[in-house]
Amino acid sequence: MGSAGVPVVVGLDNGGTSDNATVLTVDGRFLVDGLLEIPSEVGAGPEAAVGALARAFDGVLAHTGVPRDLVRAVGLDTPGPASATGVISSRGSTNFSQPAWRGFDVRTALERRLGLPVVYANDGNAAALYAHHVHFGAEAMARSSVSAIVGTGLGGGVVESGRVVGGAAGMAGEFGHVHIPLDGLVEPDQAAPVCACGFTGDAESVASLTAIRRNLLPYWLARHPEHPLAAEEPDRAAKLLRGYGERGDPLARLVFTQQAKALGRLFTIAANFTDPHAYFVGGGVVEAAPEFRDWFLAAVAEHTVLRDEQRAVATFALVPDRDMAGARGVAIAALEAVRATVTAAAAPLG
């Protein structure tokens, strides 16, 4: 539980159905071991959702026994698209579908509600930051990484010198919408995959649950109509596919091989932009059986084209603690912001 008198930051992970919360001490210890979730209320609109986040904040302090006056800052992550400062896209998003969410400044609203500084990141960036710090530990601030988080869509993040690269409009690390070469990735008679964003042949059009449902599985089931998944409703078939993949089903492995190739091509592009120390893969694949997730990660690495010098120093790894990665990642971001403020205040003028 709480550490008497030690200042903390709180991390709040907002999702489409649940909010998760954690507490991180300024000396780098997480005080929550697992999930601490409450309903997120995002479907009821911004005011209800901000109220739920405030309850999650109060709840995690009660759970850990930390007094409110020891909290120095709060980290908040949400699904995107949103700006670098936490303004939900004016076009809306899958999770924030009500018109009232469009252009809503969720970071400022929570800051006003709590009366504390709030640091914002999107959920992909938060998970990327957590993976980076767990993997590199004490060396995190001297290392770089890229992360691809495979879910309903494809999120991710770029971390340089231990900090997320946000970009001018907050859109850096939107790996899902990077175009990848399709030659040798899709079959000769397979239609070029189209993303929900309207792009043809971006990474998300292949490496996401939506891509399985819309693009990959219909093609492979048309070629193998005797497969048990051909009798299932499309959404359900897409969700069942990973279980088949875990059991070594040949058709499922063909689909996931296409996804691994797509991620490999995405990481090949990243290698030529930032030349990172590590490449992380996260999302549902992390929750899979060990043999399957190891096979998948090895396939991603196999299809990532690196120079010999890069291969000698780069590592491929999975994002750990998937369900907790968001809250923990934004807690780390909030702690870095607190440390930067303290450093700036201590610096001599002139």
One-letter identity of residue 276: P
Same domain, 216 and 301: yes
Same domain, 145 and 241: yes
For the segment 113-142, what is each residue's pLDDT rounded down to a tens digit?
A: 999 999 999 888 999 999 999 999 999 999
CA-to-CA separations, 23 to 72, 73, 328, in angstroms, rounded: 11, 11, 8
Residues 6 or more apart in contact with residue 112 via CB below 8 angstroms: none
Average pLDDT, the chain: 93
pLDDT at 345: 64
| CATH number (domain holding residue 273) | 3.30.420.40
Query: Rounded to two decimals, what is the model's pTM?
Result: 0.89
Same domain, 170 and 98: no
CA–chain centroid gap for 277, Å, is 19
Asked if residue 279 belongs to a domain, the reply is yes
For the segment 253-291, what is each residue's pLDDT rounded down to a tens digit?
A: 999 999 999 999 999 999 999 999 999 999 888 788 999
Asked if residue 1 belongs to a domain, the reply is no
Question: 120 - beta bridge partners?
Answer: 76
Stretch 80-86: mean pLDDT: 85
Same domain, 312 and 334: no
Same domain, 156 and 293: yes
Same domain, 25 and 155: no
Contact call for residues 101 and 40 (beta carbons, < 8 A): no
Same domain, 147 and 53: no
Which ranges of the chain would DSSP assign to H, the alpha helix?
Answer: 46-64, 106-114, 123-136, 209-211, 217-223, 234-246, 250-273, 290-302, 308-313, 322-346
Asked if residue 66 belongs to a domain, the reply is yes
Same domain, 199 and 222: yes
Instruction: Determine the structural domain holding residue 269 and report its residue range.
Output: 138-319
Same domain, 184 and 226: yes
Give the total number of structural domains in the chain.
2
Same domain, 72 and 156: no
